[in-house]
Amino acid sequence: MTIIDGKATATQIKNEIREEVKRMVERGERRPHLAAILVGHDGGSETYVKNKVLACEACGFQSTLIRYEDDVTERELMDEIARLNADDSIDGFIVQLPLPKHIDEQKVTEAINPDKDVDGFHPMNVGRMAIGLPAFVSATPLGILTLLQRYDIKTSGKKCVVLGRSNIVGKPMAQLMMQKQYGDATVTVCHSHTPDIKEECLRADIIIAAIGRPAFLTADMVKPGAVVVDVGTTRVPDATRKSGFRLQGDVDFESVAPKCSFITPVPGGVGPMTICMLMQNTLKARQNNSTHL
């Protein structure tokens, strides 16, 4: 059994990006520039955005953080997006989600110029990805695909079960795993109304768990030798930690790991790859090249 080291892989990719940026600067080109809009002071969003800014530094990118209070109007946000769309010094930008209830997230997402949508959330990018055209692919599925590639895990012709059907992980993951030029696998998507999830999982060579239910996937659901990718990051109370909580994946790691050929841990598996893929998308945006894999 091999534990897939997402942290080490992410560090390696950030170093590769840094080298590429160094070469760009030596050629006299401008560094990639990522902007992030953060609304309010949600603890999770603050941490994510801080880590994105730090990743920009690690990669040699310029970054700009634009903050608004919780009472920002949708109009103000839309005006800021229009400004960023028109600013040639910004290669890509993100609006950190979730947004306050009075703001329509879909409207905001669709206002972003698809060529600067490094989150890959705009319907134009989602649709282009789904039919195999060059597009920005959202960071989590792209990170998982990259981990599978870097660990030389064969996916072509394999049976893959995706647990979960969210717009930012389950659906794009299933699309990518299905497509000939990426996963080339036979994909089954399971969700809360799938009656026989255990049987579906037992048939799978690759299981990608993204349902947000802590320790959902147990050893009795996994075929010996399977590859298991854990996308879950639920905070569960843990009195032994200074923070009072720990991150629990969707996989019961202790029981499942001994049965696997490869498994991603939580933390240190998929998580570190997501920000690193955002950096990769930003580099591509800078290079005006929307081929992202």
CB of 96 to ligand GUN, least distance (A): 5
- Contact positions toward ligand GUN, by CB under 6 A? 48, 94-97, 119, 139
Name every residue whose Cβ is closer than 8 Å to that of residue 23 and which is 6 or more positions away in sequence. Answer: none
CB of 110 to ligand GUN, least distance (A): 14
The one catalytic residue among 52, 158, 171, 284: 52
Q: Where are the alpha helices (DSSP H) in the chain?
A: 6-26, 43-59, 74-86, 105-111, 123-130, 139-150, 170-178, 197-202, 253-256, 271-286
CB of 39 to ligand GUN, least distance (A): 11
The one catalytic residue among 5, 91, 119, 205: 119
CB of 224 to ligand GUN, least distance (A): 34
- In this structure, the number of other CB atoms found within 10 A of the CB of residue 219 comes to 15
Name every residue whose Cβ is closer than 8 Å to that of residue 220 and which is 6 or more positions away in sequence. Answer: 198
The one catalytic residue among 96, 175, 248, 280: 96
Q: Which is nearer to ligand GUN, 119 or 205 (CB)?
A: 119
- In this structure, the number of other CB atoms found within 10 A of the CB of residue 62 comes to 15
- Mark whether 96 is an active-site residue: yes
Q: Does residue 20 sit in helix, strand or coil? A: helix
Tokens of 171: 């659906």
Note if the bond before 267 is cis, omega within 30 degrees: yes
Q: Which is nearer to ligand GUN, 148 or 273 (CB)?
A: 273
CB of 270 to ligand GUN, least distance (A): 12
Rounded distance, CA 172 to CA 153, Å? 19
Q: Which is nearer to ligand GUN, 117 or 252 (CB)?
A: 117
Q: Which is nearer to ligand GUN, 48 or 253 (CB)?
A: 48
- In the complex, which residue's CB is closest to ligand GUN? 97
Q: Which is nearer to ligand GUN, 48 or 61 (CB)?
A: 48
- Mark whether 52 is an active-site residue: yes
Rounded distance, CA 125 to CA 115, Å? 9
**Catalytic residues, which ones?**
52, 96, 119
